[in-house]
């Protein structure tokens, strides 16, 4: 018997028992839909975690700190300095896109008539792209920049007018590009009240220039100012010199100094912080483990993501379990329908055998019936899933925190997400599982004895 004829005849047989076939198909539809929706909830959950964590910083980035400088690793080795050679070593690790040291200084800054304390991060121009720093107005730093800076928008919260009697914060629309910008290592710079008195060796403020703004709210860079790496390194040296000339470190003689953040001193023990960027999210943990072996501390938002995912894994498994259970019920429905129809059509099967149907033909005929049920049920299930997914998202039925803040404002995360592969997988899975359910009934039909079948009225 030709395959096409078998397929056609099996469809005809389904059509004969419209209501029963429809009910069975609906069973498969609901089973498919249950699995798809449950999966889509889990997938949306994971995606939302990812999005939430992305808000905390770039998830491909690993912050490496050398808190235990000069100490030993748990297995007793010396922790090597986090210097340029080490940074180069990081950059060569598998899956690493790049690595850059970070130096960070804390200085006093004036913007027009407003004064504030800011932290300045030294960073090479090429890192802007690698670290996905979102410069929204102006330009990122470029090769040849010296006293140019890119300013995070939230930095403005640190500024106020020292001349005013009342508390007068700097206006939010203060134009960094037009105002005169200066920085100083003297923490009394620009202040009305000079706490601790004038410094012995006053320092001349340095004039700087704003070239770009980071306006994305919540970004780790929106509270910082970025300047060329070499410039910040130079400033760091000057800060150390200034601090020495004016009597030791912070607060010593009541005088406040600017400080290189995190750095205990200007010795050659390397950097305190290095940023390593992974090529993709899957290797982040792996890279972190390799770096930890040197004895450094690592931090990445991926850790948060992982712990969120771990905590929700149980929930997702339960969801999938419910989905699979409903499909199993659907499969039992298929088997039941087919046993019924074989019982009803026993004589017909006998006739078929007498007039030349091979065993293979009989089995195929019933396997195809199961297959069609799976195909139709699968298609309907997929359509129903998209519809339900739409409703879930529209009415925001959620399994967790679903609203986040983005530069574009409040954003509602979807509670159900159907990736492109899910309907494809369903389209393969539903007919396959139906075939499995049809296996035993089809064998039964095939094995029916002709004589017994014909005798049945």
One of 126, 215, 306, 361 touching another protein (CB under 8 A): 361
Q: Which stretch binds another protein (CB under 8 A): 70-78, 217-225, 278-286, 343-351?
A: 343-351
Cβ at position 335, least distance to another protein in Å: 23
- Pick out residues in 431-450 that bind another protein (CB under 8 A): 450
Beta strand 206-214 pairing with 148-152: parallel
Q: Distance between CA 186 and CA 205 in Å, rounded?
A: 9
One of 206, 261, 340, 454 touching another protein (CB under 8 A): 454
Q: Which stretch binds another protein (CB under 8 A): 217-225, 306-314, 350-358, 375-383?
A: 350-358
DSSP letter assigned to residue 177: T
- Residue 207 forms beta bridges with which residues? 182
Smaller CB distance to another protein: residue 360 or 411?
Answer: 360
Beta strand 297-299 pairing with 96-111: unpaired
One of 67, 195, 348, 456 touching another protein (CB under 8 A): 348
Smaller CB distance to another protein: residue 357 or 399?
Answer: 357
Rounded (to 5) percent helix, strand, coil in the chain: 50, 20, 35
Residue 139 in the binding site for another protein (CB under 8 A) = no
In total, the chain counts a number of residues equal to 457
One of 9, 91, 206, 375 touching another protein (CB under 8 A): 9
One of 360, 396, 397, 456 touching another protein (CB under 8 A): 360
**In contact, 407 and 215? CB cutoff 8 Å:** yes
Nearest alpha-carbon partner for 213 in 129, 131, 120, 135: 135
**In contact, 374 and 434? CB cutoff 8 Å:** yes
**In contact, 150 and 157? CB cutoff 8 Å:** no
Smaller CB distance to another protein: residue 40 or 346?
Answer: 346
One of 200, 358, 394, 411 touching another protein (CB under 8 A): 358
Cβ at position 433, least distance to another protein in Å: 28
Structure-token pair, residue 64: 């490496």
One of 224, 277, 316, 353 touching another protein (CB under 8 A): 353
Structure-token pair, residue 93: 């690790």
Q: Which residues bind another protein (CB under 8 A)?
A: 1-2, 5, 9, 12-13, 16, 347-348, 351-361, 450-451, 454
């Amino acid at each position: 018997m030709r395959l096409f004829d078998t397929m056609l005849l099996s469809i005809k047989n389904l059509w004969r028992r419209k209501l029963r076939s429809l009910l069975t198909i609906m069973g498969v539809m609901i089973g498919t839909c249950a699995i798809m929706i449950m999966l889509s909830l889990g997938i949306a959950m994971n995606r939302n975690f990812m999005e939430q964590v992305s808000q905390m910083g770039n998830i491909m980035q690993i912050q490496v700190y050398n808190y235990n400088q000069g100490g030993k690793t748990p297995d007793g080795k010396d922790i090597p300095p986090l210097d340029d050679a080490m940074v180069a070593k990081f950059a060569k690790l598998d899956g690493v896109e790049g690595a850059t040291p970070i130096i960070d200084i804390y200085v006093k800054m004036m913007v027009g008539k407003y004064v504030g304390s800011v932290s300045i991060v030294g960073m090479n121009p090429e890192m802007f792209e690698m670290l996905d720093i979102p410069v929204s107005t102006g330009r990122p730093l470029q090769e040849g920049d010296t006293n140019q800076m890119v300013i995070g928008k939230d930095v403005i919260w640190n500024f106020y007018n020292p001349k005013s009697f009342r508390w007068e914060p700097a206006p939010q629309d203060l134009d960094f590009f037009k105002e005169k910008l200066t920085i100083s290592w003297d923490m009394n710079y620009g202040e009305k009240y000079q706490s601790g008195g004038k410094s012995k060796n006053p320092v001349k403020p340095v004039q700087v220039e704003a070239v770009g703004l980071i306006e994305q709210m919540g970004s780790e860079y929106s509270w910082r100012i970025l300047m060329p790496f070499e410039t910040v390194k130079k400033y760091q040296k000057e800060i150390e010199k200034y601090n020495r000339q004016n009597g030791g470190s912070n607060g010593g003689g009541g005088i406040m100094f600017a400080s290189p953040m995190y750095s205990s001193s200007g010795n050659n023990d390397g950097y305190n912080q290095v940023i390593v960027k992974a090529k993709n999210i899957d290797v982040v943990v792996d890279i972190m483990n390799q770096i930890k072996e040197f004895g450094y501390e690592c931090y990445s938002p991926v850790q948060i993501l992982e712990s969120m995912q771990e905590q929700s894994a149980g929930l997702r498994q339960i969801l999938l379990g419910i989905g699979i259970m409903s499909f199993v019920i659907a499969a039992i429905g298929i088997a039941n329908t087919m046993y019924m129809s074989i019982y009803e059509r026993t004589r017909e099967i006998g006739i078929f055998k007498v007039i030349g149907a091979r065993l293979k033909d009989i089995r195929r005929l019933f396997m195809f019936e199961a297959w069609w049920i799976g195909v139709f049920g699968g298609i309907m299930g997929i359509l129903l899933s998209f519809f339900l997914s739409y409703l879930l998202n529209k009415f925001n039925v959620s399994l967790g925190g679903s609203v986040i803040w983005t530069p574009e404002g409040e954003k509602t995360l979807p509670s159900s997400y159907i990736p492109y592969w899910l309907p494809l997988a369903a389209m393969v899975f539903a007919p396959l599982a139906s075939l499995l359910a049809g296996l035993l009934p089809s064998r039964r039909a095939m094995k029916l004895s002709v004589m017994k079948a014909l005798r049945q009225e």
